[in-house]
Every structure is written in C-alpha cells, then in structure tokens.
Amino acid sequence: MSERAPIRVGMLGCGNIGAAVARLLTDHSSDIERRAGCRLEIVRVAVRNPAVERGVGLPADRFTADPEEVVDDPGVDVVCEVIGGIEPARSLILRALRAGKPVVTANKELLANFGRELFDAADEAGADLAFEGSVAGGIPLVRPMKESLAGERIVRLMGIVNGTTNYVLTRMTEDGMPFGDALAQAQQLGYAERDPTDDVEGFDAAAKCAILASIAFNARVVAGDVYREGIAGVSGEDIRFARRLGYVIKLIAFAEVEDGEVAVRVHPAMIPSDHPLAAVRENLNAVFLEGAASGPLMFYGRGAGGAPTAAAVVGDLVAVARNLRWGGREMGCTCYEERRVRPMDRHESQYYLLLEAVDRPGVLAKVAGAFGENQVSIKEVWQEGGGEEALLVMITHRANEGALQRTVSDLRALDVVSAVKSVMRVEGAE
C-alpha cells in the first residue's frame, strides 16, 4: 500500500446516500486505494442533527451541523454533496468550487436547474464537478456518454429513469392492481416517498431527462424545458387495451435532436412489448440510446437506492482523487452548442384514444369526422360494449400533437361522446 497522504473528503449529508458512501469507502478501502493511488478518508461530515448515530464507524467529533465548516476546512480536499435540494446545496457547492475544491454530487434537482452556474464556477476555478450519481443512481451513464462515447453522435434517447413509477406500472400490468394500491405497495417497500408527487407526476424523471439531453446533445437543457405528464391518469383499462394491441405502458423520458432542435419530454407511452425497454420491470431503470455509429445501446440497472447510488458517487470520488493526486481534470461541461427546444405541439407520434360513446347508428361517422377535420388519420378502431356506454378504442397513424389536441377538444364537444377517457402516445411502432 502507498505511503502517500490521503485525499481528505468532506461530506455534506450522511443520509441514505452519504452513509452508504462512508460504508463503501471503509469496506472497499484497499481496492479504492489501489485505484485512486492513495487513501480516501472522510475527515468532516455535516448533517442536520449530529447527535444521531449513523452507523458508519466515524468518530463523533467529525460530525458538525454547520456545512460551511466542512467546505471551508483547509483539511478538506474534496467536497461530496449528498444533502439534496437546491439550497443550501447550491451555495455550498459554489463556495467549494470557488475555493478551488473539487465537488462530487448526486443532486439531479440542482444540476437540472442550475447546471450552467455550477459548471461555470467549476471551469473558472479549474476544479472538477462530477455527478454520475445524479442520473439513474447506480447505472454508469454520465461518464460513458461523455467519455466512452465522445466519438459517437447520439441521435435519440429513451429512458425509464424513475423506479417508483416503473414499479407501480409493473404491479398494474402484471397483477392488475389499481394505481392507488400499487402506489401504496411501493411506499410500503420504501420505493416511494410519503409524498410521491415528484415521482408520480414525472418531475424526477424530467430533471434526469434534462441532464441526459444536455450531455447527449451538447446543449444546456433545464428541467423546465421538458414537457411532462405523470402516471396518475393511467387506468387499468388502458393497460388492458395496451396488452391487446401488443404494447406495454411505461413512463418514458424521451430526448432527441432534429433539425438542430432538441425535443425533450416525459410521459406515459405505449411501447411495443418486444422493445428492450418493455422488459424493464419492477423498480429497475434503463436508458436506451441510439448512436449514429454504434446503433442501439442500452444501460440497465438500479436507478436509485443507497448502495447503488453510493457506488456511482465513490467512482466519482476516485476519479477526482486521481486528478488531485496525479494532475488532470474531468471532462467539464460539454454544453457548447446553442439549441432551441422544439415546442410540444410540433411533436409527432401515433396516439391511442379511449372514448366513451353511445352505441347508435351514425356515431362512428361523427367521431371519424372529428379526426378527419383535423387531418388525423385513424389506423385501427374497435368497440367494446354497447348501449349508452360503449367504449371506442382508437389508434391513429402518426399525427401532429397540435392536430391531435384539436381533435380531442372536438371529440369532447360531440353530443355522442360522453367522455374522452384516455389519450396516450404510442411510440416506436410506426
């Protein structure tokens, strides 16, 4: 083992991820030392409540409730931010970078909203800002996309990047559970927060989509650029009809570049049941990339959780420590192109619609008329039931989103249609 001085890590946070990072650094210390070329030692830890025992084998005097003390400590070489949220994480990271200290973070919310500011500060100081843990937890994506695929041109990306919603949709699909029961089960198993809004409404996936799109297309995309719909509106009927049509419903983050513009969106979608992402079940994540040279590439694994995310954070700590020890820098911000974000009403895909309509002669003609007037062409239609509450299931050919939305409002105005129960995009089929 080397006699070199250790790289001294200051931790901001010691919750799920922070404690798992501390344990990995201890449990794998000898491998880490060989890979980094020196020991990595946690010398200071900021938490809200230092009196709480963390079970990470660090002496009590290393804990403090003042995170600035950690950042400012001249004995800290690297800052590892796993507090989460925007503030104080943002100010603390900026403070560390401006003092020339490299930062490792797993904070997707911060990067997806303030990435530019943070990377500018990192570049100005010539310090590393590494963030592998911020997208899809334990799945290596940031470094492979930035470095291993530096010679590649990524044209499209589709990802299941939220484990909670994938778990809920899996239970609904495989066990026929209603949405509420599946979500309650996810909460019992610790896959969903007590307030599941961020996951269920797609905010978490949108933040990750923004980060992935920024890396894939070399242009800054922020969370607010991402069109977003959650899964609360997905019904058992939708799942049943999807299966009959040969599809699976998943919450998907899409990012693509077309005519120099970036299109970014997160929404439930029907994808063909033989698509590689259809096989991603339970709370697992996967990102499917299409490279101009390599073709399809898929990254699959645990997208969250203490140990998987900590493994990604420790990987960054080793890379940053090597740079400190031997010189060199991580590839910094790669958002060197300016790209416009394509508005959603210019999006095109196939659509699935579920209508409740009365079963009378002439109804189909009226419904078809609403589609025809908006230049949306119907690929398939069938009816279930009859009388006053017949269900009409319709799949369109590829259509423009704006035209489809106009069709939906025209359908709602028809006296023969009592409800437009669902509208969902069908992707990857035509």
Ligand X SMILES: NC(=O)c1ccc[n+]([C@@H]2O[C@H](COP(=O)([O-])OP(=O)(O)OC[C@H]3O[C@@H](n4cnc5c(N)ncnc54)[C@H](OP(=O)(O)O)[C@@H]3O)[C@@H](O)[C@H]2O)c1
Applying CB under 6 A, which residues contact ligand X? 13-18, 46-49, 52, 67, 82-84, 88, 106-108, 133, 137, 304-305, 309
User: What does DSSP assign to residue 145?
Assistant: I
Minimum separation from the CB atom of position 288 to ligand X (A): 20
Can you list the alpha helix ranges (DSSP code H) found in 218-305?
A: 236-245
Query: Are 182 and 171 a contacting pair, CB within 8 Å?
Result: yes
Minimum separation from the CB atom of position 314 to ligand X (A): 13
Minimal CA–CA distance to 4: which of 36, 39, 29? 39
Minimal CA–CA distance to 137: which of 277, 305, 319, 318? 305
Task: Name which of 249 and 310 has its Cβ closer to ligand X.
Answer: 310
Task: Name which of 189 and 365 has its Cβ closer to ligand X.
Answer: 189
Task: Name which of 10 and 13 has its Cβ closer to ligand X.
Answer: 13
Minimal CA–CA distance to 405: which of 328, 335, 345, 333? 345
Task: Name which of 298 and 307 has its Cβ closer to ligand X.
Answer: 307
Give me the residues paired with residue 288 across strands.
158, 298
Rounded to whole angstroms, how far apart are CA atoms 133 and 84?
Answer: 12
Rounded to whole angstroms, how far apart are CA atoms 215 and 261?
Answer: 14
Minimum separation from the CB atom of position 224 to ligand X (A): 18
> What phi and psi, each to the nearest 5 degrees, are found at residue 425?
-80, 140
Task: Name which of 95 and 108 has its Cβ closer to ligand X.
Answer: 108
Minimal CA–CA distance to 397: which of 374, 366, 417, 421? 374
Query: Are 341 and 254 a contacting pair, CB within 8 Å?
Result: no
Task: Name which of 278 and 304 has its Cβ closer to ligand X.
Answer: 304
Minimum separation from the CB atom of position 50 to ligand X (A): 7
Residue with tokens 């990604």: 312
Minimum separation from the CB atom of position 220 to ligand X (A): 20
Task: Name which of 47 and 370 has its Cβ closer to ligand X.
Answer: 47
Minimal CA–CA distance to 386: which of 416, 417, 357? 357
Rounded to whole angstroms, how far apart are CA atoms 200 and 266?
Answer: 11
Region of 84 please: left (phi>0), alpha (psi -120 to 50) or beta. Answer: left
Query: Are 44 and 11 a contacting pair, CB within 8 Å?
Result: yes
Residue number with the smallest Cβ distance to ligand X: 15
Write out the catalytic residue numbers. Answer: 208
Minimum separation from the CB atom of position 59 to ligand X (A): 17
Minimum separation from the CB atom of position 299 to ligand X (A): 15
Rounded to whole angstroms, how far apart are CA atoms 79 and 361?
Answer: 70
Burial class (CB in 10 A: 0-12, 13-18, 19+), 296: exposed
